[in-house]
């Protein structure tokens, strides 16, 4: 059974307090210019998933639900049996049942996408997702935002109206391993998490200090050294950049701090004043010489740069919360 496997996996998952990889903090933030993918590790963001996923699936034949047989009321016992927990976050638990269900949904989604994710890696990712959601939910509660029953029901009613009726939702629940109760629980958490996420990213200004940079990028150390010698001898940087790259002419555009995936390039650019060029910089991409064309303390961010800085703000918030929280895995 999955339960025994999961217990073994939980013991092998890295401690989340110690700066777990947050590269997947948001699925809708994709930076194509820097090849930076920040998948939304809140991967079961159902308010997005259901509205888009269910609407696309309405043409499929619904799976009829089987009514649960009636059962006698449970006999009261002196001690209530506690569900086993997979993880505790500041005293709030994620049950083993919930974790396994989320893991199964994640695996099914990856299979549908044609991806192969090892079970241990999948478990780590799902665990990080759930912890991130709970931390955001707790942040929302601390800020005074509570998802009460009325708000939750309003969201569900709106969702039902949008996707075509309660039967569509019921069929989707059955096909994705949800009960009414577990779906409500997941939606309640994710509504709060989305609210807190929006509060965090709203703190990012649409303007920031930025530099406008042009580069000469080559792939041979001797060639780049020869180019640097030419620049020192008085050659025009823009002309050389255009000769080496006629398509882009070496244009990197405007960018703020914490935007580029290569910290060396960013640090070198911000060490320069307009009109200055750098020494040769060796990176995984090759060998670069940078020139700063302009520098402004309050330049408007491109949409892509704004999304990147918002992602960084969310990552930093989650990292700080993880480090200051009491997060324990099941023994």
Return the number of other C-beta atoms located less than 10 Å from residue 175's C-beta. 14
The token duo for 78 is 């002196």
pLDDT at 153: 94
| Residue 61, CB-side half-sphere exposure with 13 Å CA sphere | 1
Buried b / exposed e across 68-82, counting CB within 10 Å, b at 16+?
eeeeeeeeeeeeeee
261-309 tens-digit pLDDT: 899 999 999 999 999 999 999 999 999 999 999 999 999 999 999 999 9
pTM, entire model? 0.74
User: Using CA atoms in the order 159, 102, 186, 65, what is the torsion angle rounded to 10 degrees?
Assistant: 50
**What are the pLDDT digits (tens) for 3-54?**
555 444 444 444 444 333 323 333 322 222 322 333 333 333 333 443 333 3
Place of tokens 């890696």: 121
Tell me the two tokens of residue 177: 């391993």
Backbone angles phi, psi at 42, to 5 degrees: -80, 60
The backbone torsions φ and ψ at residue 215, rounded to the nearest 5 degrees and listed phi first, read -135, 155
Q: What is the mean pLDDT of residues 71-84?
A: 57
Q: How far apart are CA 323 and CA 312, in angstroms?
A: 16
Cβ pair 201, 310 in contact under 8 A: yes
DSSP assignment of 198-246: HHHHTTS-SEEEEEEEEEEEES-HHHHHHHHHHHHTT--HHHHHHHH-T
The CA radius of gyration of the chain, in Å to the nearest whole number, is 25
User: Which ranges in the chain belong to alpha helices (H)?
Assistant: 2-12, 46-57, 96-112, 119-142, 149-163, 166-175, 180-201, 221-232, 237-244, 263-270, 303-324
Q: Cα separation of 130 and 182, whole Å?
A: 14
Buried b (16+ CB within 10 A) or exposed e, 189-211: bbbbbbbbbeebbeebeeebebb
- Indicate the DSSP class of residue 3: H
Q: Which residue did the predictor score with more confidence, 305 or 63?
A: 305
List the single range of 170-184, 206-220, 236-250, 301-315 with lowest mean pLDDT: 170-184
Q: pLDDT tens for residues 186-218?
A: 999 999 999 999 999 999 999 999 999 999 999
Burial of 17 (0-12, 13-18, 19+ CB in 10 A): middle
pLDDT for res 81: 65
Domains and CATH numbers, the chain: 2-65+83-203+310-329 (1.10.4030.10), 208-300 (3.10.50.40)
């Amino acid at each position: 059974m999955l339960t025994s496997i999961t217990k073994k996996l939980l013991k092998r998952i890295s401690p989340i307090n110690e700066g777990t990889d947050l590269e997947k903090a948001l699925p809708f933030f994709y930076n194509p210019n820097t090849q930076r993918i920040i998948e939304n590790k809140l991967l079961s963001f159902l308010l997005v998933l259901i509205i888009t996923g269910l609407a696309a699936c309405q043409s499929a034949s619904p799976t009829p639900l089987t009514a649960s047989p009636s059962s006698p009321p449970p006999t009261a016992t002196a001690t209530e049996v506690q569900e086993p927990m997979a993880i505790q976050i500041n005293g709030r638990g994620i049950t083993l049942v919930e974790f396994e269900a989320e893991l199964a949904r994640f695996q099914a989604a990856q299979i549908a996408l044609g991806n192969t994710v090892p079970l241990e890696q999948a478990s780590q990712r799902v665990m990080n997702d759930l912890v991130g959601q709970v931390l955001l939910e707790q942040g929302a509660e601390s800020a005074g935002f509570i998802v009460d029953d009325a708000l939750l029901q309003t969201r569900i009613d709106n969702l039902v109206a949008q996707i075509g009726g309660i039967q569509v939702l019921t069929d989707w629940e059955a096909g994705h391993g949800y009960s009414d109760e577990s779906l409500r629980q997941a939606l309640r958490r994710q509504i709060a998490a989305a609210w807190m996420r929006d509060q965090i990213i709203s703190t990012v200004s649409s303007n920031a200090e930025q530099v406008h940079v042009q580069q000469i990028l080559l792939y041979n150390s001797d060639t780049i050294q020869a180019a640097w010698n030419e620049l020192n001898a008085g050659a025009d940087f823009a002309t050389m950049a255009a000769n080496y790259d006629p398509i882009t002419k070496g244009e990197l555009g405007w960018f703020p701090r914490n935007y580029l995936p290569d910290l060396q390039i960013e640090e070198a650019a911000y060490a320069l004043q307009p009109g200055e060029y750098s020494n040769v910089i060796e990176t995984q991409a090759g060998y670069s010489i940078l020139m700063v064309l302009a520098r402004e303390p309050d330049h408007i961010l491109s949409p892509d740069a704004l999304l990147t800085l918002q992602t960084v703000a969310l990552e930093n918030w989650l990292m700080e919360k993880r480090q200051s929280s009491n997060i324990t895995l099941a023994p």
